Amino acid sequence: MSVAVREYVGSRPVVGLAVAVAAVSTSAPLVELSAAPSSVKAFYRVLFMTCLVAPVALRRSPGDFRRITGRDMGLAVVAGVALAAHFALWFASIDLTTIAASATLVQTQPLFVAVGAWLFLRDRVTRRTVAGIVVAVVGAALIGLDAGASATATDPLLGNVLAVVAAAMAAGYVLAGRSLRQRIRLFPYVTVVYGACTVVLFATVVAEGHALLDYPPREYALFLAMAVGPGIFGHTVINWLLDRVESAVVSVSLLGEPLGSAVLALALFAEVPGVLTVVGGAIALVGIAITVWNRERDEAGDDVPRD
């Protein structure tokens, strides 16, 4: 971001948050617009994101790379592998089920983060957090039951399952990078993680036998749009805002992504989600909001540094 944009967003965080939520809402529709294989879409999105953030990291904090320990580098690579699995699985999910269902189910990531932090990091889980998880699971189950979600969904059950697994992989990415972000600045961190993610997705594309080149210009434009829109103006702006807005507010605001994605899917593809998807999605988002809000509030009260 330019200095002028940073100053504007910094002085008006609500505007920046609105821009970020709108940007991430374009992710699933952009994936759906592309005719390339799912792994190819994921590869180019992360490749372009790496190309965009690496020069910034090298220019602003070249010394930070030398200070990354071998252990931290290994954890960053693990985070990159988890992120690669997240993108590959979620992009495949979008091709199989409705955008509304996929975008909602992939947002169950905070539930997996809460459970993973309790299992592996010994974070406490309050009764309100458990209640939020239960509500969200009920909503997700209703979405999963909507087998006839839309005429455009080729295999909604498999697509829904892949979205949930993609959410679990995203939680692994968050948990792996949780402590790293306390020691490594944002741009060096994402450069290493995106770089590892790019290598894994490149290997996936080659292993699946897909072509890497010779796609129409429209496809490369979509790949770049995925990187710049939801990647830079979405998640990078969100990370920038975390120093200015409570992380609980940011996390809950991001639950607007499924709604924005569903509206775009309706406008672009005439994709109408089933009744169970709509009802289950609303219930799931309420449960996720309860879970996120209580976890973030508890962490803030305990003075635990947040991602």
Confidence of residue 47 (pLDDT cuts 50, 70, 90): very high
Report CA dihedral (171, 173, 175, 178) to the nearest 10 degrees. Answer: -130
Share of the chain above pLDDT 90, in %: 54
Question: How large is the average pLDDT for residues 229-256?
Answer: 78
Reduced to 3 states, what is the DSSP secondary structure of residue 73?
A: helix
Confidence of residue 306 (pLDDT cuts 50, 70, 90): very low
Q: Which residue has the higher pLDDT, 1 or 208?
A: 208
Flag the least confident range among 107-121, 154-168, 174-188: 174-188
Identify the H or E element spanning 140: helix 127-145
Q: How far apart are CA 53 and CA 199, in angstroms?
A: 16
Is the per-residue pLDDT at 203 higher than 70?
yes
Question: How large is the average pLDDT for residues 105-115?
Answer: 90
- Size (the chain), residues: 307
Q: How far apart are CA 75 and CA 175, in angstroms?
A: 10
Q: Which residues contact 278 (CB under 8 A, 6 or more apart)?
A: 100
With CA atoms as reference, report the closest residue to 180 among 84, 64, 87.
64
| pLDDT (0 to 100) of residue 305 | 32
Confidence of residue 155 (pLDDT cuts 50, 70, 90): confident
| pLDDT (0 to 100) of residue 63 | 86
**Angle at which helices 156-178 and 109-120 cross, to 10°:** 50
pTM: 0.87
| pLDDT (0 to 100) of residue 193 | 93
Q: How far apart are CA 76 and CA 14, in angstroms?
A: 31
Confidence of residue 14 (pLDDT cuts 50, 70, 90): confident
**Cα distances (angstroms) measured from residue 44 to each of 23, 63, 212, 219, 253:** 18, 28, 9, 10, 27
pLDDT per position as a tens digit, 65-83: 888 999 999 999 999 999 9
Q: How far apart are CA 155 and CA 157, in angstroms?
A: 6
Matching residue, tokens 């965009």: 52
Half-sphere exposure of 171 (CA within 13 A, CB side): 23
Question: How large is the average pLDDT for residues 121-141?
Answer: 88
Q: How far apart are CA 223 and CA 43, in angstroms?
A: 9
Q: How far apart are CA 119 and CA 146, in angstroms?
A: 31
272: left (phi over 0), alpha (psi -120 to 50) or beta: beta
| pLDDT (0 to 100) of residue 5 | 53
Is the per-residue pLDDT at 92 higher than 80?
yes
Share of the chain above pLDDT 70, in %: 88
Is the per-residue pLDDT at 150 higher than 70?
no
